[in-house]
A and B are shown apart, each in its own frame.
Chain A
Amino acid sequence: MLPLLNLLLPALIPSWRFFKSVDPSPRVEWAMLAAATGVAAQWHEFRARPQYLTPWAMACRMLWNPRWNETLFVVSCAERLTLTPSSHSQQEILRRISAELERTLPPGACLPYLQFRLVFTDRNEDGRLVKAVTYQSDPFLIAGMASA
């Protein structure tokens, strides 16, 4: 009961400090491995944003935007994983990446293991963007993960 109250209170007495400061921003990257002992050769950004979005697409997203909202939830899990690591955040990210891979990759293109990492982007004192890998998961078996 107490944990639920802790989750509810920020909604009943919100802080409303939207964008108080622009903090380093996480990107979730994934790689597939043939074996649990393998080393990731190529990292891919999870659901990279499109180059351009038409005004019509923006208008449609006012009513139907599940993928983008899920992507924002994954970003939120990445932030939680950095601040207060939990298996919940890790599993949410893994499940959503594997579901996306099942949906978008052709049959047979998936390797058995999935690994993800968090790359934080920030601006240094010179104004240049810097990236830092702050977390890398163990390899997980993909089979059945999306439906778990």
Chain B
Amino acid sequence: MSLELALRTTEILLAFAFLQQSAEHLAGFRNEQVIYGPRLLLSGLLLFGIATPWVLLGLLGLGLLILQRFQGPYNGGSDKMSLLVLCCLTAARWLPSEQWQEYAFAYLAGQLVICYFISGQVKIVNPEWRSGRALQDVFRFSAYPVSEDLRGLADRPRLLWAMGWAVMLFEVLFPLALFSREALVLALFTAALFHLANACLFGLNRFFWIWLAAYPSLLWLQERVVL
């Protein structure tokens, strides 16, 4: 995968994620609409590849306005990943030499690997996660389950223990997938399913779309550096 193809694929996926996020805010307050209306428009331009470097700069400006408006991320990790993807893409489109463009895009790929590994590592050293208790707590009393019926899963400790270990092992072993193309494709497909499950069970739909947008960077980096 060439750098140009990877950048363009990322732009299309990012545009789609931003269109989805922005549309949700257009149903909100007026002072959100004045930020997210232009963001929707710029995302449309990004989708069709029109004046891309300037559009990315505009989206970055709006991203900073959004941070200020909500005094931090509106949607936690998904907003952070949105900004990270956007910053790396903007840098890759504006930096003068191809070498620096590659560094900027590789940073995104590196963060993607780190994000899965760190998420797994912090869980696996925690006895509550290893025993399955933490995932029970997530279902029993956290704010995330989308329906009351889902809280019933807290009473299935064996299932949650197995689910917890599956997630932890997948996350900490994720970096090993870099050593084979087939393994990386399989790992990214599994990760996407994981985000899909989180979207269904915990309503984290924005995470699903924005994490997909970071995947082309890793596929490109693997081909560029490892294989």
Chains A and B belong together in one complex: yes
Asked if B137 is at the interface (CB within 8 A of a chain A CB), the reply is yes
In the complex where A11-B80, A52-B149, A68-B203 touch, is A123 in contact with B141 (Cβ < 8 A)?
Answer: yes
CB distance from A129 to the nearest CB of B (A): 6
Report the minimum CB–CB distance from B164 to chain A (whole Å): 10
Does chain B have a CB within 8 A of A25?
Answer: yes
Interface size, B (range): 35 or more
Q: Is the CB of A64 within 8 A of B23?
A: yes
A14-B84, A72-B143 given; A51·B123 CB < 8 A: no
Question: When the two chains form their complex, are residues A12 and B83 in contact, meaning their CB atoms are under 8 A apart?
Answer: yes
Contacts of B75 in A (CB 8 A): 69, 72-73
Q: Is B183 an interface residue (CB 8 A)?
A: no
Give the distance to chain B from A2, nearest Cβ to Cβ, in Å: 12
Q: Looking at the complex, which one of A17, A25, A71 makes contact with B119 (CB distance below 8 Å)?
A: A17
- CB-defined contacts of B29 to chain A, threshold 8 Å: 95, 99, 146-147
A123 contacts B137, CB within 8 Å?
Answer: yes
Are B72 and A69 in contact, with the CB atoms below 8 A?
no
* Complex Cα–Cα for A129 and B25 (A): 35
Closest to A63 in B: B20
Interface residues on A, range: 35 or more
Q: A26-B143, A50-B147 are in contact. Are A73 and B74 (CB under 8 A)?
A: yes
Using known A-B contacts A7-B67, A70-B28, A147-B30, determine if residue A62 contacts B208 with beta carbons closer than 8 Å: yes
- Least CB distance from A58 to B in Å reads 5
B interface, over-half SS: helix
What is the CB-to-nearest-CB distance from A138 to chain B, in angstroms, rounded to a whole number?
A: 21
Distance between B27 CB and nearest chain A CB, rounded to angstroms: 5
- The answer to whether residues A7 and B72 also contact, given A12-B83, A21-B128, A147-B30 and a CB cut-off of 8 A, is yes
Q: Distance (Å) between the CB of B108 and the closest chain A CB?
A: 11
Interface positions, chain A 125-148, Cβ under 8 Å from B, are 129, 146-147
Say what secondary structure dominates the interface of chain A.
Answer: mixed
Determine if B147 and A53 form an interchain contact, defined as CB atoms under 8 angstroms apart: yes
B216 close to A (CB within 8 Å): no
Taken residue by residue from 112 to 147, chain B's Cβ proximity to chain A (1 for < 8 Å, 0 otherwise) reads as 001100110011001010000010011011110111
Residue of A17, A58, A65 touching B122 (CB-CB under 8 A): A17
- In the complex, whether A88 has a CB less than 8 A from a CB of chain B is yes
Residues of chain A within 8 A (CB-CB) of B208 are 62
Contact bitstring A59-80, B, C-beta under 8 A = 1, else 0:
0011111101111110110001
Find the residue from A4, A17, A22 having the highest chain B CB count within 10 A.
A22
In the assembled complex, how far is the CB of residue B23 from the closest CB belonging to chain A, in whole angstroms? 7
Contact yes or no, A88 B71, CB < 8 A: yes
Question: Please, which residue of chain A has its CB at the minimum distance from the CB of B21?
Answer: A69
In the complex, the answer to whether B148 meets A65 with C-beta atoms within 8 Å is no
A17-B122, A22-B128, A27-B143 known; A51 and B76 CB under 8 Å? no
Contact with B along A1-35 (1 / 0, CB 8 A): 00010011011101111111110011100000000
Interface residues of A (CB under 8 A from B): 4, 7-8, 10-12, 14-22, 25-27, 49-53, 58, 61-66, 68-73, 75-76, 80, 86, 88-89, 92, 95, 99, 121-123, 129, 146-147
